[in-house]
Amino acid sequence: MNITAPTANNIKDNWVSFIHELQDRICAGLEQIDGKASFHEDKWERAEGGGGRTRVITGGNVFEKGGVNTSIVFGPVTDLMRTQLKINGDNWFACGLSLVLHPNNPFVPTVHCNYRMFELYNANYEVTDRWFGGGTDLTPYYLFEEDAVHFHGAYKQVCDQFDASLFPKFKQECDEYFVNKHRNNERRGIGGIFYDYQRPSGSQDVDYWMNFGKACGNAFLPAYLPIVEKRKDMPFTPENKYWQEIRRGRYTEFNLVHDRGTIFGLKTNGRIESILISLPPTVRFDYNYQPVPGSPEDKLQQVCLQPKDWV
């Protein structure tokens, strides 16, 4: 099997360097706010080409389970990738950061983000296509509207620095992507931003989309940590925890049934432990569970059924 690495280029190297630095910075910020647990790093290699750094935090004061992963993977485009992922070319390369954090306290939201770059090459390893993608989305179990406003506002501020049209566009894409279509189009959370297949074109060149991805990645800690700080010490009941696990079930359903990143990892022989690190540690799948109408639990579910514009 051909596992030759793609030829180095300044664009790729710039992005790889940023992704690793962002991983270090995010892990440090999360360890500081947790105050107890630290990340365990697991370096791995992929037989078909590349590898990554999986960092896991468990049993903390704040985080029950979380992962902040980086990967640099590459290889030949397979027939399966051509047919199921609609990828054409001879060889491919992908580099990105992906994180999911599942907190102990049901009043602290789960959060996910992913920022990545993908390149395609011909038989001579010349770049034939390149695109950027990513996003950050929030999955609360109880709705605090000021938290939703803060989170969305942080990413609106980033988007507006590049183009005022980006936030409403990417916010809508997020609302339309993280959906359990099999559950009456119920969203898994309250969204954020999501974008994919952003190719350099005209004034939106490679630097534009790379800098946009960097700005979004840099916004993660100031968007999320103030919410964690505000909610992490709130008292909660077994009933609150029960509801958290019901909603975690919805999270699991989306990741296993619909998420393109999970599917891509499975179809490209990705590292299974790194792919499934996004799944919560405990979940519930109660038959036909419905929250009490008008309850705080129902309030959260209603905004998952009908997304709101928070800013």
Which member of 102, 112, 150, 152 is catalytic? 112
Instruction: Label residue 203 exposed, middle or buried (CB < 10 Å: 0-12, 13-18, 19+).
Output: exposed
Supply φ then ψ for residue 199, to 5 degrees: -95, 140
> What are the residue ranges spanned by the domains of the chain?
10-305
- pLDDT single digits (tens) 132-169: 999 999 999 999 999 999 999 999 999 999 999 999 99
Q: What is the mean pLDDT of residues 167-172?
A: 98
**Residue 270 confidence (pLDDT):** 77
**Residue 26 confidence (pLDDT):** 98
Can you say how many angstroms the Cα of residue 34 is from the centroid of all Cα atoms in its chain? 20
**Residue 297 confidence (pLDDT):** 98
pLDDT band at 89 (very low <50, low <70, confident <90, very high): confident
Residue indicated by tokens 């183009």: 163
For the entire predicted model, the pTM comes to 0.93
- pLDDT single digits (tens) 18-74: 999 999 999 999 999 999 999 999 999 988 899 999 999 999 999 999 999 999 999
CATH T-level topology, domain 10-305: oxygen-dependent coproporphyrinogen oxidase (3.40.1500)
Look up 112 and say whether it is catalytic. Answer: yes
96-126 exposure pattern, b = at least 16 Cβ within 10 A, e = fewer = bbbbbbbbbbbbbbbbbbbbbbbbbbeeebe
pLDDT band at 110 (very low <50, low <70, confident <90, very high): very high
